[in-house]
Structure 1
Amino acid sequence: MGRSLRIVGGEVYDPANGINGTVKEICVEDGKIVESCTGPAEVIDASNLVVMPGGVDIHTHVASPAVNAARGFRPEDHRKMHFSAKPGLRSGVGATVPSTFATGYLYAKMGYTTVMEGANAPIGVRHTHEELIDIPIVDKGLYIELGSNEFILRYIRAGEMEKVKRYVAWLIRSVMAYGVKLVNPGGVEQWKYGKDVETLDDKVYHFDVTPRQILKALSWANESLGLPHSIHLHANRLGTPNNYLTTLDTMRTLEGTRLHVAHAQFHSYGGENWGGFCSKAPEIAEYINNHPNITTDIGQVVFGDATTITADGPWQYRLYKLSKNKW
């Protein structure tokens, strides 16, 4: 028999099993939670502490060529937080874009066991894997960004859906990705010409396809392949007034199909212009709550400094004009 463990006195939160803040004992044997320990067990006193399932950060940016570039762009960020080497631990630096070992330690301290790197161009994934391997303690995975991939757009234009599916399968296997990410579908390609898409039916320059077609094609390919995660969507018109209408249109387009809406609060704004800017989060939340095919992460915003990492060029330019900040 392996190690036995009793966690006593903690406030337990386990939504999957309907436990909401109950003080109770948790027993672990051979790495699995059991009703009770059958023999001597190590005891951890968790009084005044929260006991919960390991956290899963389904959308983060911790390793990729983009993250490494962000570290280079923000030398001042390295000075804000230091981690000294200790027995069993390595040193590290960085506040908003910490180094690899620091990233693992910080996630573990917050109770996370799994983190998913949010967006990678397939050509840079080898480096991403090298960094993920360097992050200690937590399990890791990554998504590849295909929402404006040239081959995908060509195949959609030609109506060659089977090629879309086979290309997605080949990329997933070749770069060892977990799932498919879409960032501002069609809009990232449009940004090469200084433009963005305003609706799901705008045509993408030179390809004569629309964001709606891209959404449907990649969702179909994802489901046909039986991938474990739905398409992971950074929707169009992030951060702009009245974009909640685009978000609702997007979710309705994929009615009945699995969909993950990333950083949803950035896609939940109303108002005809910046002067009338307001939140439409209740409308988005109501739709998601009534459609079990949709999952979401909220896009947590905290006060203070940040380093934004995104493939969404149009949004990053708008953010620069709004904030006047460097990055």
Structure 2
Amino acid sequence: MDLLRLALVPGEPAGVGPELCVRLAHEPRDHALVAFGDADTLRAAADAIGMPLRLVDPDQASTRAGELALTETANAIHPAFGTPEPANAGAVIDALQRAATGCMQGDFDGLITGPVHKAAINEGGIAYSGTTELLARHAGCDVVMMLANDIVRVALVTTHLPLREVPDAITEDTVTQCLCITAAALQRDFDIARPRIAVLGLNPHAGEAGHLGREEIDVIEPALERLRAHGFDLIGPLPADTAFLPAKLHGFDAVVAMYHDQGLPVLKYSGFEQAVNLTLGLPYPRVAVDHGTALDLAGRGVADPSSLFAAARTCARMARARRARGPAIHA
């Protein structure tokens, strides 16, 4: 089988992304990495943390430690550690789009992304709400955000919404779409033939039979019943305060939460360092770190690379599963 080729985007040039990519290049691996970024920024990061780095052409991508293939996307300004330059916004977005295009064209088996500084990109004149949204528009498809570690996988029906807007965004269609995309990804990317998915209610105690809200009765349960009729293995709606008990998690392949802060605090508490952010529903695997740019740590050599290492392992595993299984198998 041909060597897996994974695209790697460091993210914000002034943050910890470049130095984490240098550390990743030194990790043992059985797949090739091709970075999309600025050569001088990567070299400066390597010098700052005292690790040698050899940059090579993309067609020379290999598994050799300390070596990183690079597709140059030059920054407009060489950034100082910890100080984002809005003028570099175009280079950051260009790197993401070029890497995504390579995945869409079959040049790469998956995409790994580092942390991006949203404010710097918007200040640079580019409207940007997040990489998940950017990649979804680029591919022209609906996606689901999932965060995962070795303990639990949590997918979200809604993502970055003010809390007062969440109930209106919870509809039969949004719940159904999230569950369909999540189930298909678990089959295709994690080799789980019939995923068992726990679905949380929106209200405390999952509505307490309508006494604490009717979204479970009027919206969530009808969506679950419709999918169960098509063979989906769904448990819920469950009260969020007890669904994450370890004894229950052992019986689930994933948990679907209704909103961001319902599921993600539990996941991050259970293992933030090893957590990764997945975009389900894309035509290729995309896995990101589950942390920000950490500007205060940039260039000091103290940033924890665990999430990027986990992202690379997860992306490679998902890519192999896609190669082996081919198109998604629907329940």
TM-score for both structures, normalised by structure 1: 0.28
From the CA coordinates, give the structure whose radius of gyration is larger: 1
Structure number with the higher helix fraction is 2
Structure number with the higher strand fraction is 1
Task: Work out which structure has the larger RCO, using CA pairs closer than 8 Å and 6 or more positions apart in sequence.
Answer: 2
